[in-house]
Structure 1
């Protein structure tokens, strides 16, 4: 079984989008880390106040896809759906 890794950036256009990320991120991290198959999950601020790094690892493609489905229908997913993401994936 191959793990799935995601690495990339969450890029806000303005301080309002950054405030949305800051407001919803703690719950998003807590819920994701509690998901079955989540090995690691980190979203960290960078020196640029509009950009966060994102690093995720899941046990397999099924657990990663389940995570993606949950996120789409979550408060985080709806609140941040228009924020730019630049991600790369390994293991899919």
Structure 2
């Protein structure tokens, strides 16, 4: 089985975007961690209040794709659509 790992950063342009993340992130984390196949989901604010590190790991491609679809249809997806993401996705057998 091939797991999927996403790592990177969420980059807010200003304090308004950062406040949106702060307000909506806890529910997004809760919903994501409850998804079938979610092995890891961490979004942590850095010393820079406009930047969060993101680390996700899903058991397989289907779980990752289901997560992506849920996010696109979610409130989180809607309210953070304009926030810059700098992500890398890796797939590994294991």
- What TM-score results when the alignment is normalised by the length of structure 2? 0.96
Counterpart of 1:40 in structure 2 is: 40
| Number of the residue aligned with 1:70 | 70
Residue 87 (structure 1) aligns with = 87
Provide the rounded CA distance (Å) in 2 between the counterparts of 1:58 and 1:7: 12
How far residue 89 of structure 1 moved from its aligned partner, in angstroms, is: 0.4
Q: Which runs of 4+ in 1 moved over 3 A?
A: none
Q: Secondary structure at the match of 1:3?
A: strand
Normalising to structure 1: TM-score of the pair? 0.98
Structure 1 position 2, deviation (Å): 1.2
Alpha-carbon RMSD: 0.9
Unaligned runs of 5+ in 2: none
1:13 is aligned to 2:13: yes
- In structure 2, what is the equivalent of residue 22 of structure 1? 22
* Residue number in structure 1 paired with 2:61: 61
CA offsets 1:6-62 (integer angstroms, 9 cap, x no match): 000000000000000000000000000000000010000001000000000000011
**Going by fraction, where is strand more abundant, 1 or 2?**
2
Q: What 5-or-longer segments of structure 1 have no aligned partner?
A: none
